[in-house]
Amino acid sequence: MIEYHDREWGTPLRDDRRLFEFLVLEGAQAGLSWQTILRKREGYRRAFANFDPRRMAFFTEDDVEGLMANPEIVRNRQKIHAAIGNARACLAVQEEEGSFSGFIWSFTAGVPLTPRRPPGADVPAKSTESENMSRELRRRGFKFVGPTICYAFMQAAGLVNDHTTNCFRHVQLQETPH
């Protein structure tokens, strides 16, 4: 967890596939600990064709059954179906908007939000931006994308810098060109 925080969490992502991966993993995490998902992350990459939406979009019910038997991932039928459906929805967004990244970053006007939270400050579970993102993703057919999941996704993918102001990553990410 420390390595994930120190090297990855909150780093702005612009790659469509990586953003899709983070969105799927945040949905998989619903009701579970993030540590559980991190431990299974490589298994998810293997099981979900390295999060390639072009490949995942063609998963069949036979593939779903195989995934349900795979101990390397969370074996929840709704979450598996959601990931496959989200791959199809991601492809539609890419077709319509040009890129998944451009679409996702449009909710923050293309730049990371920087709330400057002091040590010990309460971090919200959602924001206006995550509510707007959730609403639009659901309208486009995505599942497991409620406002809280979207806010966690925004934090993980660097759309919001929620490191507290005393964290070295807060400063580091402020100084990094986006």
Nearest-angstrom CA–CA distance, 167 and 118: 9
Which run of H or E residues covers position 103?
helix 100-105
Question: Catalytic positions, please?
Answer: 4, 26, 34
Q: How far apart are CA 43 and CA 71, in angstroms?
A: 8
DSSP annotation of 69 reads T
How far is it, in rounded angstroms, from Cα 140 to Cα 114?
28
Q: How far apart are CA 134 and CA 148, in angstroms?
A: 9
What is the number of other CB atoms lying within 10 angstroms of the CB of residue 143? Answer: 17
Measured from the Cβ of residue 32, the count of other Cβ atoms closer than 10 Å reads 13
Ramachandran bin of 123, using left for φ above 0, alpha for ψ from -120 to 50, beta for the remaining angles? beta
Tokens of 124: 């919200």
β-sheet bridge partners, residue 113: 160
